[in-house]
Amino acid sequence: MTAFNRSVAVVIGINDYEHFPALSSAVSDAKAIGQVLEAQHGYEIRPLLNEQATRVGWKALFERELLNLDEADRLLVYFAGHGIAEDTGDRPEGYLVFREGQQAHDQRQTLLPMRDLNDDLARVRCSHVLLVLDCCFAGSFRWAASSVRGGQEPCIAGRRLHRYEYKRCVGSKAAQVLTSSAADEKAFDEVGGMLIGRRGMVGGHSPFAAALMDGLRGAADMCGPDGQRDGIITATELQMHIGRAIGPITRQTPQLWALPQHDKGEFVFWPDGAEMVAHLVDDPVLDAAANPWRGADAYEDDPQREGLLFGREDEIEALTGLLDAEPAEGLIAVIGASGAGKTSLINGGLAPRLKAAGGWQVLGPIRPGATPMKSLAECLGALHEEAPRALLVLDALDGVFTRGCPRAEREAFFQALQTSPTTHPTLRIIATVRSDHEARVAALAEQAGLPLRRFIIPAMDAEALRRVVCGPATLRVLYFEPLALIDDLVREVARSPGGLPLLSMRLAEMYLGYLGSHETGRTLRREHLDAVGDIAGWIERRASALYAQADDAQKETIQELMLRMVQSEGGKRSSRRVMDGELRAYVRSKAKVTLAVVNLFVDARLLVRGSVEIDGKAEGYVEPAHDALVRRWSQVTQWLDGARPRLGLQRDLKAAANSWHTSGRTRALLWSRDPRLAQTRALAQKVNALEYEFIRHSRRGRMLRRWL
């Protein structure tokens, strides 16, 4: 089986420049890489070295031979020489310097703009094209291809390829560029307002070229978890290998980009010289149990879902460092709002990472409830004395306040956590804590003398959310078409307080829709997302289902809760954060209903629970997971229309009550003389505890005035 008819490599190396400083290793780099490609990979080599490496020579070769390659061929172009960059304001303009290139500003036509090189390569009919730029400011090529687009990574390095992955790699168009651009480039000369960078040299070759050759010889064919190689080097693996090889000795950061003409393929090499498929892995079975996304559920330490947690790589690294840090005693509290992914981070990310690294025994997770001491004793009883280090995982530690744990029991539990490392010196303790319970957990830890190290889990940015979409799909050998679908999924939840669980739930449903379509192409398409519905319609259906199942008291509370979460700016409706104090009811029975409703919507991932520091004190809050809950839910629109006559009064009352409370309950701020006091009777049961107190004191003040 042969994937390509011909493999052609143009290797360009220039040491002796007519108008630029000479280089020492560019020619030897190009020759050596050409030799590896020819001897080990069967490439036809077209060298352009020193005096042959002119812009005219490149154009002649391009027109004479490269344009005559057909779709069954592949092309690699390697350039070693000077690269220069001109700062044009918003983006750098990059140039490749051929032998005759001149320095003067009015001689720019002697240089090859990277933009022109990109246009040339777009004319080549080869199904696979790889441009390798071993020159300074090679990263400028990214701007040369103005329509370079992001996509789903076709493979993940560090494991063997699946058969379907390989079929896509070689069977679809690939147009990629691998560059040796520096992360913090330092110029050693400036010519005509343009910067010239430093290529460097290690062992007779540039660091990049040396690592590239090593990778092509087979070092970039990375082993999978089973320790076996698949006999295939992808461009992604090659880029990762080079980055790891040169990172310790240079500031260069090799990068791999897709060009505009790139489709679903990936440039590949076979280090054994012939196309190898014997070591490919069978494609994973796709069924409901293999769903790559967990929906509303957290990722667990489950072999069936190993490696499916994406988007929290930095946090896992940081927590690993915290566990290694001294002093080791105390509790690491991973703090975040509901739906932030705290449990998934620990159970689906950190715990598997520690187990795979070896030297760790992970205990738990314990979910503290009514009897946490019993759970702790059972867990510590499983501790192996020979384990070098152990990690005790407490999931939702705030459960000691919410799951019926007696006060004496939780105090004893925290005291036991404080003394456990004394009995078990290798023990580390980590816990997840919802941010609105952080202050209570911290107070209990302080009372027990238990040191607390806070780790705030940040909200995911768009890039992390993108990995949540693409990473699990790639592991299951699933692909999104069109690629814009990935951006659409991320965009609709980015910057939403509850974006992560909403995204995961929609992806899980989209996958199930794909299974129901009985397609065999392992491709998630827009029609699968359309079947789930847009984010607004999807949220409305979930909210309406909860409302339909609620009893009358809960329905009334849902209505009042939603109306408090709406604000209008410039005629546009948006969501607002409601502090816990605003939700506090003045009747105990109603307080219980409010708490039950909030928990119901939080569990459904439609509301988010969190906390924020106000005047040095943590204050809990609840807010919509997405603006669509209050902007697009038709039920909210109906409630707003029906309540419009009283909403202005209710807003005024809320503001007045807050001002009265924050001023120390100054009598002058009461509505004792305000005509609006009489109108508050229409609000009946729709006021909270503070507003009720404000009304009560205002009425008392009015009565006193009458008596006097």
From the list 372, 342, 373, the residue with the least C-alpha distance to 454 is 342
The pLDDT, as a whole number, for residue 189 is 34
In this prediction, residues 309-328 reach a mean pLDDT of 90
From the list 483, 354, 435, the residue with the least C-alpha distance to 608 is 435
Question: pLDDT-derived band of residue 195, with 50, 70 and 90 as boundaries?
Answer: very low
* DSSP annotation of 667: G
Q: Looking at 100-114, 267-281, 317-331, which range is the least confident one?
A: 100-114
How far apart CA 606 and CA 600 sit, in angstroms, is 9
How far apart CA 479 and CA 523 sit, in angstroms, is 5
CB 57 within 8 A of CB 48: yes
Query: Which tens digit of pLDDT belongs to each residue from 342-354?
Result: 999 999 999 999 9
The pLDDT, as a whole number, for residue 241 is 93
In this prediction, residues 317-323 reach a mean pLDDT of 94
Question: pLDDT-derived band of residue 80, with 50, 70 and 90 as boundaries?
Answer: very high
* Tokens of residue 10, six digits: 């143009």
Is 309 a residue whose pLDDT tops 60?
A: yes
- The CATH number given to 7-269 is 3.40.50.1460
CB 37 within 8 A of CB 45: yes
Alpha-helix residue ranges (DSSP H) falling in 266-312: none
In this prediction, residues 459-484 reach a mean pLDDT of 93
Query: Which tens digit of pLDDT belongs to each residue from 24-68?
Result: 899 999 999 999 999 999 999 999 999 999 999 999 999 999 999
The pLDDT, as a whole number, for residue 142 is 62
Peptide bond into 368 cis (omega under 30): no
Is 418 a residue whose pLDDT tops 90?
A: yes
How far apart CA 103 and CA 312 sit, in angstroms, is 47
Q: How many CA atoms lie within 13 A of 688 on its CB side?
A: 20
Q: Helix, strand, or coil here: 289? A: helix
Domains 288-293+461-533 and 312-456 equal at CATH topology level: no
The pLDDT, as a whole number, for residue 270 is 93
The pLDDT, as a whole number, for residue 422 is 83
Is 439 a residue whose pLDDT tops 80?
A: yes
Task: Please state, in angstroms and as integers, the Cα–Cα distance from residue 320 to each residue in 306, 316, 422, 432, 620, following that order.
Answer: 18, 6, 22, 15, 29
The pLDDT, as a whole number, for residue 182 is 46
How far apart CA 528 and CA 505 sit, in angstroms, is 14
Instruction: Walk across the sheet containing 194-196 and list its strands.
Output: 112-113, 92-97, 82-87, 194-196, 189-191
In this prediction, residues 522-537 reach a mean pLDDT of 93
The pLDDT, as a whole number, for residue 236 is 92
Question: pLDDT-derived band of residue 620, with 50, 70 and 90 as boundaries?
Answer: very high
In this prediction, residues 541-552 reach a mean pLDDT of 96
How far apart CA 484 and CA 552 sit, in angstroms, is 44
The pLDDT, as a whole number, for residue 293 is 96
In this prediction, residues 181-198 reach a mean pLDDT of 42
Structure-model confidence comparison of residues 300 and 131, the more confident one: 131
In this prediction, residues 684-693 reach a mean pLDDT of 86
In this prediction, residues 15-29 reach a mean pLDDT of 92
Residue owning tokens 């709002």: 337
The pLDDT, as a whole number, for residue 424 is 86
Q: Helix, strand, or coil here: 637? A: helix
- The CATH number given to 288-293+461-533 is 1.10.8
3-state secondary structure 410-456: HHHHHHHHHHHHHHCCCEEEEEEEEHHHHHHHHHHHHHHCCCEEEEE
Count other Cβ atoms within 10 Å, centred on residue 36. Answer: 19
How far apart CA 188 and CA 16 sit, in angstroms, is 18
The pLDDT, as a whole number, for residue 46 is 98
Which amino acid, 400?
V
Query: Which tens digit of pLDDT belongs to each residue from 141-182?
Result: 665 554 444 455 545 566 788 999 999 999 999 999 998 864
How far apart CA 324 and CA 303 sit, in angstroms, is 25
Q: Helix, strand, or coil here: 481? A: strand
- The CATH number given to 312-456 is 3.40.50.300
Mean residue pLDDT across the chain: 88
How far apart CA 661 and CA 650 sit, in angstroms, is 16
Q: Which residues contact 622 (CB under 8 A, 6 or more apart)?
A: 577, 578, 580, 583, 598, 602, 607, 608, 609, 610
Is 581 a residue whose pLDDT tops 70?
A: yes
The pLDDT, as a whole number, for residue 147 is 42
* DSSP annotation of 217: I
How far apart CA 31 and CA 388 sit, in angstroms, is 51
From the list 19, 64, 17, 74, the residue with the least C-alpha distance to 41 is 74
Structure-model confidence comparison of residues 181 and 459, the more confident one: 459
How far apart CA 25 and CA 31 sit, in angstroms, is 10
Is 204 a residue whose pLDDT tops 90?
A: no
The pLDDT, as a whole number, for residue 1 is 42
Is 106 a residue whose pLDDT tops 70?
A: no
Per-domain residue ranges for the chain?
7-269, 288-293+461-533, 312-456, 538-704
Q: How is the chain split among helix, strand and coil, in percent rounded to 5?
A: 45, 20, 35
Q: Helix, strand, or coil here: 10? A: strand
Ordered DSSP codes for 358-408: SSEEEEEEE---S-HHHHHHHHHHT--TT-SEEEEEETTTTHHHHS---HH
Task: State what percent of residues in the chain have pLDDT above 90.
Answer: 63
Is 460 a residue whose pLDDT tops 80?
A: yes
Q: What is the pTM of this model?
A: 0.81
